[in-house]
Chain A
Amino acid sequence: MNNKSKIIGISVVVFTLSLIFSKLFIYKVITVGFTAQLTGSQAELGVQERNGAELAFENINNSGGINKRKVNLIIKDDLGKPESAIVAEKELIKEGAVAIIGHATSGQTMAGMDATKNAGIILLSPTVSTPKLSKIDDNFFRVYPSFRDSSRAFADYVYNEGKIRKIGIIYDLDNKAYAETYSETFSEEFKNEGGEISSSQSYSSRSNTDFSEIIDELSKSGAQGVLIISSDNDTALIAQKIKLRGLKIAMFTSAWAQTQTLISNGGKAVEGMILEQSYTSSSKDPEFIKFQEQYLKRFGTMPSFGAAFSYEAAMVLADAMKRSKKNFSNLKESLKNTKNFQGLMDEFSIDQFGDVERPFYLSVVENNEFKVIKKLNFAKESGN
């Protein structure tokens, strides 16, 4: 036998063995689920979060995985509907996910979290901020702070520094858990300050309304400003509609809309819009800059807050998994033990209820970019 045939023989054996082993390695893989709204006109946040999680686990896998086990990320679209959120979670559980990152919005989380709760699986959201999920010891965790304080601080700012006394509120009923609660806390604080809610209107983003009636009402109420609690796309559209109507009022929006889509679809209408942000793209933290570069290289666009928080969520999860037992039976405790975690923008800890306390910012859209105008420090929640 000459050397050539030997080499071929060996390569056949190696090839066969590698096929067998690649099959075997699958059993060592950790399956992690991801769910958010990925399709439709409001999908930008979810897509960004999906990309952030993908980038995080690609980085984790490239640096050896979690305790030498690779992560397989399974992705499900929750279509931005509560009923689909349940389906998505159930499917992920069925496919063997040991933990799920998602959802992007509060409404879907409130709807879907029963599925994970029943299965005893961790649901870790990058961006859900409704205070309705605060202070509950369950399987739900998040890396995004509750807006309870931020919405109040925002209301204070609108009243005191924005000099707005009468404000109209428009919010999306399809993410009721977020939008309605946000509206309530904001209103409460705004009224406490002495302001007046001239109109409060809700709509369903699925109805494809042209907002003319809503804007009519807003206009009639004599509001000096408007708070839009909607997705990026809807906020942009409402802003454009208000501008088209020639209504020259100050516009404010919640952290939900803080994506590039708000600017690209909002056109000139969103210039000067003030929004609450838990994220600042102008951070100079080297970790953050590295993340931005990686993201740009991988996905061809700059990351939005969703991508950053999702990346952090994935990193928090991986860190907790590293400290967990092999079958992740104590993952919940490990997550609770996440203390002084170095995130992309700041350091944070997860409390016993799976919540975080992090700073937030007020930004303004200026020359098609978000610009931080104020850092609002976290104030300890009292009571409740």
Chain B
Amino acid sequence: MKLIKNFPNIREILLKQLFFRLFLPQLIIGIIVIIILGILGMESVGKQQKEVAGSVVRMMDFHIEHGEKIINSLAITAESGNNSALHIILHSSWEAYGYFETIYFLDKNKQIKLIEPHNSRYSGLDMSNIPIFDNVSRNKVFISKPLVSVRTGEPIIYLVKMLSNGTYLVGELNLSLFQTEIMNIYNRNNENFVYILDQGGNLLAHPNLELVKEQKNLSNLKIFNVKKNKNFQIYSYNRKIVFGNTQVVKTTGWIVVDQIKITKFWQQFFQLLLTIMIFAIFLWVFSWSKIKKRLNSDIVSPLEQIIIQTHSIKEGDYLSLDKLENTVPVILEFNELIKSFSEMSKTLNKRENSLKEANEEMESRVRLRTSELSSTNEKLKEMYDNLKETQMQLIQSEKMAGLGTLVAGVAHELNNPTNYIFLSSHTLEKNLEEFQKKLISFTENNDVETINFFNSEFSEFENSMKYILEGSMKIKMIVNDLRTFSRLDEAGKKETLVNEMLDSAVRITSMQYGEKVNFINRISSFYSVSCYPSQLSQVFLNILVNACHAIIKKTEAVSETAKGTIDLSIEENESELFFIFKDNGCGMSEEVKNKIFEPFFTTKPVGLGTGLGMSISYGIIEKHKGRIKVASEEGVGSTITVIIPKK
């Protein structure tokens, strides 16, 4: 079906409308919802992070407090001045608590008096330059920034208590304490983890213990520098984008960070988004294929049917209307439309049919009239042709009659002198012979010279005589022919079998022309006719010879061995016999055809023909009350038909 291309079809419009007004907005809303969910999720994770960090802070407070308590209780023993008791308590505390890397008891000069675990390497050492004593007071346990243990190099913080007598109790609290706690929280799956920084950004605890041991400083992190109380911070950590939350340990100013890699967090939302997208696309494809199907069956195909019907009605085809009536649209409007359309079509059909009928009647009448007229016309034409032919024949016979009279006269006048010449010539010939013999006999002593002279002279006379005889013979024949033409030579008519006549004519011709011409005799039955047999034979001979000449004229141009054919046949009707001679020779021009029966008209070179053959034939046929018809086409061949009445 052909539609105008620039107009969208109903499917496209519906598709566009559904896609842009329904599907896409829904998808976008879906995506927006996911993003909002994600942001809300970040908020909630941020809150959660804050809580986790808070719990770590409380845990750290607890541990530091615990450490302080131990240091304080040790201090009480130390204040008592009982060094051996202190030694025992130091040892048991160190062993029991487990998170003190080393516990030192320093004298006023900050030299090591007691060290737990005991190691002679360190006893007596001066610790005064270790930067932990600047802010030490008697009331409070001082907590240092993270340092490495003098003894073991492990990451620690110092808890320092100054006693009333100016001595010091120093505990190295191992940071692995916090390490253990944050490792409990560390979730390897989503890379959510907690780490602790001191106020200068130095790591106190981190899931990667190496970093702590290496005294890594993370003060360059954005989260370390932004102290605002936001729900969460997004920043770059180790070249990865993370978001995290902080809590500050109030007693020390340390910062607990809980962070998660943002991609890890968003991964679940991306997965959800992807699922929704895939589902939405699947739903779209599915529902669109359904809608398309319904659209096709309920709207488009009835419409297309109507369009097709309109087209075929335009072409005048009402037969396929059944098909339209067979489609049962589900939609009411289409049902109505199809009903009214088919009714309209039917009415149109009826109207057109009656018009057609009226038209046909009219046409048949016209046809009748026309045929009547044309048959009359034909008859008239035939009559006219007959008239014309008769006129032509009349003219011809008149012409021939005139010529005949003239020729008869000439022939008669020529006949006698010619006979004289002929007869006298004969006599003269004989006389000359005798004269020669006589002259030779008179010759003396057989004079050879004289004899030879006479012989040569007489042979010349003989030749001349021969020419005279031949010429007069020829004149005689022409005169005879002319007499024949002019009915001077009458003989009696008799019933003759024409087959024989034709056969002998063919035989004679083929003797001379057999090499160049094939004769095909198609005569299968015997015909007899009342005629002048010798004259009719002459006619046939003339016609055949002419046909042979026409063939030779044509084949000569082709090659020496080329052959032509002459077809012979006889047809008959009630009253006449038709002798048909058909050759495939050179044919005749219209001009030649018109002059063919005139005496002395010839197309052959001078000397080869007399130009009398056909005119004589014409005369003979006329005598038989018959006709000769000539049909010819130049280059193709000629057909000569001789028509003789049977009686």
Give the residues in chain B near A301, CB-CB below 8 Å.
200
Q: Are A19 and B263 in contact (CB under 8 A)?
A: yes
Interface status of A118 (Cβ within 8 A of chain B): no
Binds B, one of A177-185, A189-197, A203-211, A341-349: A203-211
Q: Are A40 and B214 in contact (CB under 8 A)?
A: no
The chain A residue with its CB closest to the CB of B236 is A22
Q: Are A72 and B217 in contact (CB under 8 A)?
A: no
Q: Are B120 and A212 in contact (CB under 8 A)?
A: yes
Give the residues in chain B near A75, CB-CB below 8 Å.
214
Q: Are B200 and A300 in contact (CB under 8 A)?
A: yes
Give the residues in chain A near B152, CB-CB below 8 Å.
41
Known: A38-B215, A41-B153, A265-B130. A58 touches B220 (CB 8 A): yes
> Which residues of B129-176 are within 8 A (CB) of A?
129-131, 145, 148-153
Q: How many residues of B contact A (CB 8 A)?
A: 40
Binds B, one of A102-110, A160-168, A236-244, A328-336: A236-244
Interface status of B50 (Cβ within 8 A of chain A): no
Interface status of A299 (Cβ within 8 A of chain B): yes
Q: Per-position contact with B for A1-34: 1 when CB-CB < 8 Å, else 0?
A: 1000100110010000001001000100100000
Chain B's nearest CB lies how many Å from the CB of A285? 24
Assembled-state Cα–Cα distance A137/B262 (Å) = 48
> Which residues of A30-66 are within 8 A (CB) of B?
38-44, 47, 50-51, 54, 58
Among A8, A241, A266, point to the contact of B129 (Cβ < 8 A). Answer: A266
Interface status of B125 (Cβ within 8 A of chain A): yes
Q: Are A51 and B217 in contact (CB under 8 A)?
A: yes
Q: Are B126 and A269 in contact (CB under 8 A)?
A: yes
Interface status of B210 (Cβ within 8 A of chain A): yes
Give the residues in chain A near B241, CB-CB below 8 Å.
22
Chain A's nearest CB lies how many Å from the CB of B560? 98
Known: A210-B121, A264-B131. A41 touches B148 (CB 8 A): yes
Q: Are B148 and A43 in contact (CB under 8 A)?
A: yes
Interface status of A368 (Cβ within 8 A of chain B): yes
Q: Are A298 and B129 in contact (CB under 8 A)?
A: no
Give the residues in chain B near A368, CB-CB below 8 Å.
129
Give the residues in chain B near A212, CB-CB below 8 Å.
120
The chain A residue with its CB closest to the CB of B210 is A77
Q: Are A267 and B213 in contact (CB under 8 A)?
A: no
Q: Is the interface of A mostly helix, strand, loop or mixed?
A: helix
Assembled-state Cα–Cα distance A233/B150 (Å) = 8
Give the residues in chain A near B121, CB-CB below 8 Å.
208-211, 237
Q: Are A263 and B214 in contact (CB under 8 A)?
A: no
Q: Are B214 and A38 in contact (CB under 8 A)?
A: yes
Q: Are B239 and A72 in contact (CB under 8 A)?
A: yes
Q: Are A8 and B32 in contact (CB under 8 A)?
A: yes
Q: How many residues of A contact B (CB 8 A)?
A: 49
> Which residues of A288-336 are within 8 A (CB) of B?
297-301
Interface status of B124 (Cβ within 8 A of chain A): yes
Among B31, B148, B239, point to the contact of A12 (Cβ < 8 A). Answer: B31
The chain B residue with its CB closest to the CB of A16 is B270
Give the residues in chain A near B201, CB-CB below 8 Å.
298-300
The chain B residue with its CB closest to the CB of A58 is B220
Chain A's nearest CB lies how many Å from the CB of B42? 13
Interface status of A90 (Cβ within 8 A of chain B): no
Chain A's nearest CB lies how many Å from the CB of B444? 150
Q: Are A267 and B128 in contact (CB under 8 A)?
A: yes
Assembled-state Cα–Cα distance A133/B241 (Å) = 42
Interface status of A268 (Cβ within 8 A of chain B): yes
Give the residues in chain B near A40, CB-CB below 8 Å.
148, 153
Give the residues in chain B near A264, CB-CB below 8 Å.
129-131
Q: Are A39 and B128 in contact (CB under 8 A)?
A: no
Assembled-state Cα–Cα distance A340/B594 (Å) = 131
Known: A210-B119, A265-B130, A299-B201. A43 touches B214 (CB 8 A): yes
Give the one of B109, B110, B239 with max A CB within 10 A: B239
Chain B's nearest CB lies how many Å from the CB of A380? 39
Interface status of B219 (Cβ within 8 A of chain A): yes
The chain A residue with its CB closest to the CB of B239 is A72
Assembled-state Cα–Cα distance A269/B111 (Å) = 11
* Contacts A267-B126, A298-B220 known; 8 new A-B pairs at CB < 8 A: A12-B31, A12-B35, A43-B213, A43-B214, A50-B214, A210-B119, A264-B129, A267-B111
Question: Can you pick out 23 interface pairs between chain A and chain B where the beta carbons lie within 8 Å of each other?
Answer: A8-B35, A12-B35, A41-B148, A42-B153, A44-B148, A54-B217, A72-B239, A77-B213, A211-B121, A212-B120, A233-B153, A237-B121, A240-B126, A243-B126, A244-B124, A264-B131, A265-B127, A265-B129, A265-B150, A297-B219, A298-B220, A299-B201, A299-B219
